Amino acid sequence: MDKNISKTILWYIPIMAIVFVLVYTSSFFIELADNAYFDIFRSVTVPYSIYVIYLICKKATLETRQQRGSSNNSKSKIIINTKTNSNSAFRKIKNCFNTDESVMFNILEIFMLLTIINNLMMVFGIDPNPKIGKFAYIHLTIRFSIISLIMIAIRGKKVIKDYKNFNHSIKKLSNYSNLKSSIFENFRINKYRCTYVLFTTITIGICIFTIFFVPTPTGGVKFYFNLLIMFCVIVIFTIVTSMIFKAKYNKK
């Protein structure tokens, strides 16, 4: 088996152990739901299993392509190039899900996608057990921690590289004009990235504030519905802001 796949599978055990410790620790501060441990187990195991299957399929596909020989490879390249040139819309969609981005961006993106899917399940009754009270907010922060742990464990070398780049970027962005230019370019070029950065940052901020400063939050379906409304507002804000910035850029 591929080393990367083996490493990913082996990391599941310590990650699951850390997650259960986090849930156990939170039980000292709040009353956990009856099925809290099962919910967390499912929340980690399902996406983790999907990721492992994706790695196995990717490895098998690469090996199959290598075995076909150089002649078949050249033909497939021609077909791929033809499709790419004839379908720029698909290219733009594909670029939105760029796995070469920093680990931080990957964490923010995955959290947003999982949270939106989970919120829809809660609102439409597909998941019959919506989290209530303070646990609803703790559950989201634990999800963010789980995603962070998984991504750091799997892409350890990339994290170190990203940390060095982050320090360099912070020094550049300490200048107001550089910060303004960076925000302008991100909204103008990558609306999708701006959406998941804003959604995840605001959501985690709300959760942390509620956990420490709101004595008796309600949570429940209303909380998940409000997050969906917030997501729609962020999408509209990002699109409008991008259009304004593009118009300013075109006038230059």
Read off the amino acid at residue 181: S
CA distances from 35 to 129, 135, 146, 221 (A): 9, 12, 18, 17
What per-residue confidence (pLDDT) applies to 182? 63
Mean pLDDT computed over 77-102: 47
pTM of the predicted model over 0.75: no
Count how many domains the chain has: 1
Residue pair 166/46 in contact (Cβ under 8 Å)? The answer is no
Q: Which residues on adjacent β-strands are paired with residue 219?
A: 132
125: helix, strand or coil: coil
Which tokens hold the place of 193? Answer: 């990235």
Please answer whether residues 154 and 11 qualify as being in contact, where contact means their C-beta atoms are separated by less than 8 angstroms.
yes
- Integer angstrom CA distances of residue 184 from 95, 181, 248: 19, 5, 10
What pLDDT, on the 0 to 100 scale, is given for residue 232? 97
For residue 235, pLDDT over 50 is answered with yes
SS3 219: strand
Q: Is the pLDDT of residue 95 over 50?
A: no
Token duo for residue 243? 């259009």
Domain coverage including residue 18: 3-251
Residue 225: pLDDT band with limits 50, 70, 90: very high
With DSSP H G I counted as helix, E B as strand and the rest as coil, what are the percentages for the chain, rounded to 5?
Answer: 85, 0, 15
Q: Which pLDDT score is estimated for 222? A: 94
Fill in the DSSP letter of residue 127: S
Would you say the C-alpha torsion 207, 208, 209, 212 has a positive or negative sign? positive
Helix and strand numbers (H, E) in the chain are: 10, 0
pLDDT above 50: residue 82: no
Give 167's pLDDT tier (boundaries 50, 70, 90). low
Using one digit for the tens of pLDDT, what is the confidence trace for 8-49? 788 888 888 888 888 888 788 777 777 778 877 877 787 778
Q: Does residue 231 carry a pLDDT above 80?
A: yes
Q: What mean pLDDT comes out for the span 56-82?
A: 64
Q: Which two tokens stand for residue 234?
A: 């962020």
Question: What one-character DSSP code corresponds to residue 101?
Answer: S
- Supply the mean pLDDT for the chain: 77
Statement: residue 145 has pLDDT above 90:
no
How far is the C-alpha of 156 from the C-alpha of 138, rounded, in Å? 26
Q: How many residues does the chain have?
A: 252
